[in-house]
Amino acid sequence: MSTVLDFQIPISMIKQYVYCKRRFSLMMIDGEWGSNYKIVQGDLLHEKVDNPFYDEKRGDVFRSRSVPVYSDTLNIYGVCDMVEFEKSETGVNIGTREGLWNLKPVEYKNGTREKSGADELQLLAQAVCLEEMFGVKIETGSIFYGKNKRRTEVDFNEQRRDQLAEIIAMMNQVIIKTELLRVPENQNCSLCSLIEICLPRAFKKKRTIEKQIKSLVSQGNINA
């Protein structure tokens, strides 16, 4: 991204965009921008120097939790649940510890893997931020799913990187054009918290049907 933009996109918005593009546009255009990026960036530089989040060490590996990250190239920022640093001759100098280190982002999720691939894209976005901040290439990351207690390895291949770049470019365009996107075809809206704002007529109809059912149940005309 060659021009300097006056907004930045939280990495967590990738999941919203993948779930529903309209939802993303409603959240980003009608909602709050979230943290001010320049402040976040300033904090990051400061924290990088002070490294207050290096908190676990075992052998040649240490882990840092809640690591703030950003990428000027993709115009995104966020927080890594954890970054693993492993001592390696093929790694990079991280400036605060002796030796060379390879980096790996690790994300924790309560549920199970989603088919959409959004979790993997968000993890890759974190990796791209780390690559830019530390001048390193990161090949893989991990997602730990709490429900089945499984750690899944995610390969940051070129195909996934292209997909991420494409999605981020489209997200940036939505914001630049302040464009509220249309409801996607075959979108499943049943669990969306924005349905009242996005589809007020459909929401009203749903509420009316629910009311009618409740009324019939209370009158004993149908069983609950």
- Residues at the site binding ligand SF4, with contacts judged by CB under 6 A: 20, 22-23, 26, 183, 187, 189, 192, 194-195, 198-199
- Length in residues, the chain: 224
Using the minimum distance from each CB to ligand SF4, give the nearer residue, 20 or 69: 20
Torsion of CA 152, 158, 159, 161, to 10 degrees: 80
In a 13 Å sphere around the CA of 41, the CA atoms on its Cβ side amount to 14
Using the minimum distance from each CB to ligand SF4, give the nearer residue, 43 or 179: 179
What angle, rounded to 10 degrees, do the helices at 118-134 and 158-176 form? 90
3-state class of 33 per DSSP? Answer: coil
Using the minimum distance from each CB to ligand SF4, give the nearer residue, 61 or 183: 183
H helices present in the chain, as ranges: 13-19, 21-25, 37-50, 118-134, 158-176, 195-198, 200-218
Least separation, in Å, of the C-beta of 161 and ligand SF4?
Answer: 27
Tokens 């893997």 belong to 113
| Alpha-carbon separation of residue 116 from 17, 19, 62, 85, 149 (angstroms) | 11, 8, 31, 29, 20
3-state class of 69 per DSSP? Answer: strand
Using the minimum distance from each CB to ligand SF4, give the nearer residue, 165 or 194: 194
Least separation, in Å, of the C-beta of 198 and ligand SF4?
Answer: 3
Least separation, in Å, of the C-beta of 16 and ligand SF4?
Answer: 9
Least separation, in Å, of the C-beta of 196 and ligand SF4?
Answer: 9
Least separation, in Å, of the C-beta of 9 and ligand SF4?
Answer: 17
Least separation, in Å, of the C-beta of 110 and ligand SF4?
Answer: 21
3-state class of 63 per DSSP? Answer: strand
Using the minimum distance from each CB to ligand SF4, give the nearer residue, 154 or 171: 171
Say if residues 84 and 61 touch (Cβ distance below 8 Å). Answer: yes
Using the minimum distance from each CB to ligand SF4, give the nearer residue, 44 or 199: 199
